[in-house]
Each structure stands twice: as structure tokens, then as C-alpha cells.
Amino acid sequence: MNEFREMRRKRQMLAEEESIAILQKATSGTMALLGDNDYPYAVPISYVYQEGRLYFHSAMEGHKVDAIRKCSKASFCVIDQDDVKPEKYTTFFRSVIAFGRVHIVENDSERFEIARLLGNRYNPNHDEDLQKEIESGLSHMLVIRFDIEHLTGKEAIELMKSRHNRNST
Ligand SMILES: Cc1cc2nc3c(=O)[nH]c(=O)nc-3n(C[C@H](O)[C@H](O)[C@H](O)COP(=O)(O)OP(=O)(O)OC[C@H]3O[C@@H](n4cnc5c(N)ncnc54)[C@H](O)[C@@H]3O)c2cc1C
């Protein structure tokens, strides 16, 4: 059996490139880890996506880091759209969930490249400022890599239908 379960409502499933586009567009998501006393720990965090991986920066210690050191299995959720339709008692949603393994990056040149990737993602085209920021901050920053093993995107049936209608006209 596949380690990851299939979506029940397959019509609402996004194509892989659409899920990736959401990961490239959003600026934060929620990482779910096995936290203290095995309670799931879902923690919001900024990230950058590149080639099947997500990268994060963090303080050197804390609940999140302890959880990662204890168990590398994680999931990450990004909400692309949350458009509440009160009169319909529903939400026109679009979201992505990734499952994978998280690792603390130890290699210095890899840490530097990831810090640059993150910095550029949030403040592009400021190479000199970023260089200074990394030089002063990298030694007390933890860099985390999330290798995506399974990625799905899903949207509300209404969004799926309106997209289908647009494409067929
Ligand atoms: C949009 C967004 C982007 C963020 N980006 C980053 C980032 O890039 N890097 C980063 O390290 N952090 C980021 N944070 C902060 C992040 O959510 C955590 O607060 C932080 O990483 C510390 O986590 P910790 O487990 O080490 O905290 P700890 O202080 O060790 O956690 C102890 C307890 O504090 C509570 N707690 C911790 N964080 C939160 C929280 N955010 N909200 C409510 N309760 C909390 C929980 O009960 C947790 O068990 C971001 C938060 C938001 C909302």
C-alpha cells in the first residue's frame, strides 16, 4: 500500500504544477510535527520552495526544533484561498498539503545558500543588505530542509466548476 492515502474527492484535486504554484506564491504555512508528549504541534512559519523542497529558518532551540530532532516526519499546509460564502454556508477554498521529512541542515555552504534563497524570497534585489544580514545572523540561525514526498492540492467544488466552465467557453 502507498504510504500516503489518496484524496477521496479526486475531481477537486489540483494538478501538481498548480500545487507547486501555490507553494511558490504563498509566504507562510503551517508545519505539523510530532511535539511534546506526542501531541501534534502545528506551527506557522515562513518558507521558500525550490525544486521539491521547502526551506525554513529558525531560532536554534524551542519546541519546533526539539520536535524535528525527535521525529523527521512532518507535514506542511498552505491556504491559498479562504473565501467564506455566508449565504451558502460554505467556503470557496484552495489549499495544499505536503508530507515529507524535515532535516536540520549542517553544511555551511548549504546553510548560506538557503539563507540567501529565503532572504531573496522576502526582499528581492538587495544583495548587499542580504549579505550583511546573513553574515551577522547565520551563526545563530537554524536552517531546516523539508524534502517533499507527497504533495496534493485541493479546491472547493464551486471553484473547480467555475474553472471548468471558463476553460470550456
Ligand atoms: C506568518 C508567520 C511566519 C513566521 N515565520 C517564522 C519563521 O520563518 N521562522 C521561525 O522560526 N518562526 C516563524 N514564525 C514564528 C513561529 O510560529 C514560532 O513562534 C517560532 O518559530 C517559535 O517556535 P518554537 O516552537 O521554537 O517556540 P517555543 O516558544 O519553543 O514554543 C513553546 C510554545 O509556545 C507556543 N507558541 C509558539 N509559537 C507560537 C505561535 N506562532 N502562535 C501561538 N503559540 C505559539 C506553543 O504553545 C508552543 O508549544 C512565524 C509565525 C507566523 C505567524
Q: Ligand 1: which residues within 6 Å by Cβ?
A: 28, 43-46, 56-59, 62-64
Distance from the alpha carbon of residue 43 to the mean position of ligand 1, in angstroms? 6
Kindly give the number of the ligand 1 atom that is closest to the alpha carbon of 64: 25
Pocket test for ligand 1, best of 63, 65, 118, 142 (most atoms within 8 A of CB): 63
Q: Taking a C-beta distance cutoff of 8 angstroms, is the pair 43, 56 a contact?
A: no
Q: What is the pLDDT of residues 86-135, one digit of tens each?
A: 999 999 999 999 999 999 999 999 999 999 999 999 999 999 999 999 99
Cβ contacts of residue 34 below 8 Å, gap of 6+? 40, 41, 67, 70, 71, 73
Separation of CA 44 and ligand 1 centre (Å): 6
CB atoms within 10 A of CB 49: 23
Centre of ligand 1 to C-alpha 51, Å, is 25
Structure pTM? 0.96
Q: Contact at 8 Å (CB) between 7 and 150?
A: no
At 138-151, the pLDDT tens digits run 999 999 999 999 99
Range 103-117 burial, b when 16+ CB lie within 10 A, else e:
eebeeeeebbebbbe
Q: Are 158 and 90 in contact (CB under 8 A)?
A: yes
| 47 CB-contact burial (10 Å; exposed 0-12 / middle 13-18 / buried 19+) | buried
* In the chain, domain spans: 10-167
C-alpha 67/C-alpha 97 separation (Å) is: 19
CA distance 67 to 87: 41
Q: Please report, rounded to a whole number, the percentage of residues in the chain having pLDDT higher than 90.
A: 94
**Class for domain 10-167, per CATH?**
mainly beta
